[in-house]
Amino acid sequence: MSQVESKVGPRPANSIQSERTAIDFDIDLLNVFLEGSYEEAAIVQELMQQIERDPILKVDSSYYELNKSEHREVTARKIAQLSTYMERDAPDYDKFQKRLGLLTIIDPQLGTRIGIHLGLFLSALKGNGTDEQFQYWAFDTGAVFLKNVYGCFAMTELAHGSNVAGLETTATFDKDANQFIINTPHIGATKWWIGGAAHSSTHAVVYARLIVNNEDHGVKTFVVPLRDADHNLNPGVAIGDIGAKMGRDGIDNGWIQFSSVVIPREYMLTKYTRIDEDGEVIEPPLAQLAYGALLTGRVTMVRESFRTSQRFMTVALRYAVGRRQFAEKNSEDNAELQLIDYPLHQLRLIPWLAFTYALACGSERLTKEHVLTIEILEAASRSEDFTKIGKAIEKLKNIFISSGMLKSACTWFTANLIDEARQSCGGHGYSSYSGFGKAYNDWVVQCTWEGDNNVLAMSVGRALSQALIKAQKGKKIEGDLSFINDYKQFVGKDVILGQYFDLKVLLICYKAVLIRLADYVVQLLPENNNNWDLFGAEKVTMSKLNAIYYLLEAFIDRINKLSDKGNIKPYLVDLAKLFALSNIDKFSGIFLQFNVISSEQLSELSFEIKRLNKHLRTQVIGLTDAFKFSDTFINSALGSYDGDIYNNYFDIVKMQNKEVKAPYSEVLEKMLHRAPLENREYFQKSKEVLNRLGKL
């Protein structure tokens, strides 16, 4: 025993250890499945080891004690440390990105803060600048190694977020001086939420309206120096901290106001739109490619959804195995049941575990598609071949849709997952040391930034409906929406799907519901003045269901490629089924409404979910151990590998108590020992006094 006990206390570690010995499959193989390949699995462990041992980069429970200013400072120190890794990783930027991706699991604010420079700022330079411009700003200055130049991405304004084309900062061309005047015309155009601006950035890529001879050419991008080499603000540049946030306090988000700040003409990023010395604006047809910079962020967020889900599924399921509650009736030893043995508890968690597995496959597919698209795009933009360019644009549109549906659905689902996982740990989930609180607060901004989820999902739903209209006109649909080509099999109310506990049939169920929902909207549009806005909710639902279909398809595809080694396939098949069925159950209203399943089938399906949960429940320790997240990456009092929940938690809490009395104890003691009210009122309300005062 760890402490003196006058009666034997709970031993949650025993439960976890005994379930660990009963693992029925090869954990290493399952980890390889999750990571995609042996090589990938190995490098992930290698990088995790470096992080865990690095005294500046690692985290532990003290992370949950930091206040806002401490978070800002600690994050800056980590960035300084990372810059030295960066120098050594170079030119293997992919390795550095992986490192960062893993660091983001335990410290999302760090990932964002450095990602604004390395991701948004440099991507904007690459995406919008000429090769020369990118070479200069990224390499010649040293920015790519976090030297001399630290960038931020000044897009959002106080009064404009989603509507980028409506931004109001101006970049007015002064032909005589061959320069631009950057100006914030009013409070609404103040750059807002600009990560890195408050304390870190020396330069910004500024989104501003190009004004030439009083003509507005729309929003373009400009490099604007914010601070000089002494890190002092340049004249005309007003910057401030936007203060406290719901989460991610480690990021120094700021606001920026430009008051007629002058930059050379050459600081405009001119890969697409150019302006010559005479003020003539040249806009090639490729301009629509200029907004690609945000895509990387969306793709990354899908992968982050996977990583975050892994982390919190591990915590919640270990706790559910270790924690006991209420004795089973008529049980011999009167032992309490493990939480995970309750069917409702299984239903609350195991479908989210299935989601996590589906995400492993779906996020990997999206990432690969994105890399490929960027390559094709880069090649096309260098060529003069319009067929190539056209195909590249098609590819880009496709990834706009798939990243949009996945970013929105997965960030929402992951927020739900963290919340459900926290609630499943009862009161202890509310302790900061469980990790849920900070993680949730850090997470939920993902549903808003880099494309508000509702805005993105509506555009996906609309694209899907429009693809159906095209298909109905005989056009062939390419890419991720190509399933719509089969629409004829599904439109019409007669087809009822029979047996759907088979993965192939489950895929068909999703196709059917998607096409029928799209058809429903398409049918109703004309009688509603083609007002797409009226069908916002339907479009969002379509996007969510399409994301689930995408994840399911990727999951099944990967399972089909598996050998029978290590006994992992049967569990993966069950997880895929559970993922498919639990989401039919979640969206049962739509599946019933469009006659894809019947009421009786819904009832059968709910029993099949219960059966799958009960079966998978026996392996939850193995299915989360396979993530191979060490205690540093879990960073939760409730979720350590050893399962010794209560001792671990208490050890952390005990570190709090250096003083027995509160520093403000006097306030309470004075209150408790205050004199009677009569005394404090100078006895001025005594009967005698009132009698005297009341005398006429």
User: Minimum CB separation from its own copies for residue 567, in Å?
Assistant: 28
Residue 525 in the binding site for its own copies (CB under 8 A): no
The H or E element containing residue 96 is: helix 93-106
Beta bridge partner(s), residue 239: 256
Query: Considering only CA atoms, which of 107, 112, 118, 109 is closest in space to residue 52?
Result: 107
Residue 523 in the binding site for its own copies (CB under 8 A): no
Which window, 40-48, 293-301, 382-390, 591-599, contacts its own copies (CB under 8 A)? 591-599
Are the C-beta atoms of 144 and 184 separated by less than 8 Å? Answer: no
Report helix angle 38-53 to 93-106, nearest 10: 60
User: Minimum CB separation from its own copies for residue 403, in Å?
Assistant: 20
Dist. CA 162–CA 167, nearest whole Å:
10
Are the C-beta atoms of 167 and 117 separated by less than 8 Å? Answer: no
Residue closer to its own copies, measured from CB, 499 or 657 = 657
Q: Which of 17, 45, 97, 342 binds its own copies (CB under 8 A)?
A: 342
Residue closer to its own copies, measured from CB, 380 or 458 = 458
User: Minimum CB separation from its own copies for residue 251, in Å?
Assistant: 11
Q: Which of 151, 351, 429, 451 binds its own copies (CB under 8 A)?
A: 429
User: Minimum CB separation from its own copies for residue 589, in Å?
Assistant: 3
Residue closer to its own copies, measured from CB, 549 or 649 = 649
Binding residue per annotation — 448? no
Residue closer to its own copies, measured from CB, 78 or 220 = 78
SS3 for 272? coil
Residue 520 in the binding site for its own copies (CB under 8 A): yes
Binding mask 111-150 for its own copies (x = CB under 8 A): -----------------------------------xxxxx
Binding mask 566-585 for its own copies (x = CB under 8 A): -------------------x
Dist. CA 359–CA 406, nearest whole Å:
10
User: Minimum CB separation from its own copies for residue 26, in Å?
Assistant: 32
Residue closer to its own copies, measured from CB, 450 or 553 = 450
Residues between 629 and 668 that touch its own copies (CB under 8 A): 646-647, 649-650, 652-654, 656-657, 660-665, 667-668
Residue 235 in the binding site for its own copies (CB under 8 A): no
Residues between 369 and 398 that touch its own copies (CB under 8 A): none
Residues between 46 and 105 that touch its own copies (CB under 8 A): 64-65, 67-69, 72-73, 76-77, 79-80, 83, 87-88
Residue 593 in the binding site for its own copies (CB under 8 A): yes
Query: Considering only CA atoms, which of 210, 266, 204, 288 is closest in space to residue 239?
Result: 204
Neighbour-count burial for 347-367, b at 16+ CB within 10 Å, e otherwise: bbbbbbbbbbbbbbbbbbbbb
Query: Considering only CA atoms, which of 314, 307, 362, 311 is closest in space to residue 583?
Result: 362
Residue closer to its own copies, measured from CB, 84 or 213 = 84
Residue 229 in the binding site for its own copies (CB under 8 A): yes
How far apart, in Å, are the Cα atoms of 43 and each of 50, 569, 631? 11, 24, 18
Query: Considering only CA atoms, which of 423, 570, 399, 420 is closest in space to residue 479?
Result: 399
Catalytic residues: 450
Please calculate the CA angle 622-624-625 and round it to the nearest 5 degrees.
Answer: 60
User: Minimum CB separation from its own copies for residue 78, in Å?
Assistant: 10
Dist. CA 111–CA 77, nearest whole Å:
13
Residue closer to its own copies, measured from CB, 244 or 696 = 244
Beta bridge partner(s), residue 223: 205
Q: Which residues contact 12 (CB under 8 A, 6 or more apart)?
A: 321, 322, 323, 324, 643, 644, 645, 646
How far apart, in Å, are the Cα atoms of 544 and each of 444, 481, 595? 17, 14, 19
User: Minimum CB separation from its own copies for residue 227, in Å?
Assistant: 9
DSSP assignment of 531-548 equals -GGGGHHHHHHHHHHHHH
Which window, 47-55, 303-311, 383-391, 444-452, contacts its own copies (CB under 8 A)? 444-452
Amino acid at 587: F
Q: Which two tokens stand for residue 98?
A: 């992986």
Q: Which of 347, 393, 522, 562 binds its own copies (CB under 8 A)?
A: 347
Residue with tokens 């479908």: 351
Q: Which of 217, 391, 610, 615 binds its own copies (CB under 8 A)?
A: 610
Binding residue per annotation — 156? yes
Residue 606 in the binding site for its own copies (CB under 8 A): yes
User: Minimum CB separation from its own copies for residue 226, in Å?
Assistant: 12
User: Minimum CB separation from its own copies for residue 161, in Å?
Assistant: 5
Residues between 282 and 321 that touch its own copies (CB under 8 A): none
Beta bridge partner(s), residue 173: 180
Number of residues interacting with its own copies: please give it, by CB under 8 A. Answer: 145
Residue 469 in the binding site for its own copies (CB under 8 A): no
Residue with tokens 């050379």: 264
Q: Which of 533, 679, 682, 692 binds its own copies (CB under 8 A)?
A: 533
DSSP assignment of 478-493 equals PGGGGGGGGGGGT-SS
Q: Which of 383, 423, 482, 560 binds its own copies (CB under 8 A)?
A: 423
DSSP 8-state code for residue 16: H
Residue 21 in the binding site for its own copies (CB under 8 A): no
Residue 326 in the binding site for its own copies (CB under 8 A): yes
Residue 673 in the binding site for its own copies (CB under 8 A): yes
User: Minimum CB separation from its own copies for residue 636, in Å?
Assistant: 13
Residue closer to its own copies, measured from CB, 339 or 556 = 339
Residue 485 in the binding site for its own copies (CB under 8 A): no
Residue closer to its own copies, measured from CB, 441 or 472 = 441
Binding mask 165-204 for its own copies (x = CB under 8 A): -x-x--------------x-xxxxxx-xx----xxx-x--
Residue 526 in the binding site for its own copies (CB under 8 A): no
- 3-state SS track over 350-364: HHHHHHHHHHHHHHH
Dist. CA 119–CA 16, nearest whole Å:
40
User: Minimum CB separation from its own copies for residue 482, in Å?
Assistant: 27
Are the C-beta atoms of 534 and 528 separated by less than 8 Å? Answer: yes
Dist. CA 466–CA 470, nearest whole Å:
6
Residue with tokens 């060529």: 383
Residue closer to its own copies, measured from CB, 3 or 499 = 3
Residue closer to its own copies, measured from CB, 362 or 435 = 435
Kindly calculate the radius of gyration of the chain based on its CA atoms and give it in whole angstroms: 29
Amino acid at 207: Y
CB atoms within 10 A of CB 22: 10
Which window, 23-31, 308-316, 442-450, 556-564, contacts its own copies (CB under 8 A)? 442-450
Q: Is 248 left (phi over 0), alpha (psi -120 to 50) or beta?
A: left
Are the C-beta atoms of 117 and 143 separated by less than 8 Å? Answer: yes
Residue 414 in the binding site for its own copies (CB under 8 A): no
Residue with tokens 């290698």: 46
Residue 243 in the binding site for its own copies (CB under 8 A): yes
Which residues fall in the annotated binding site for FAD? 156, 195
Which residues fall in the annotated binding site? 156, 195
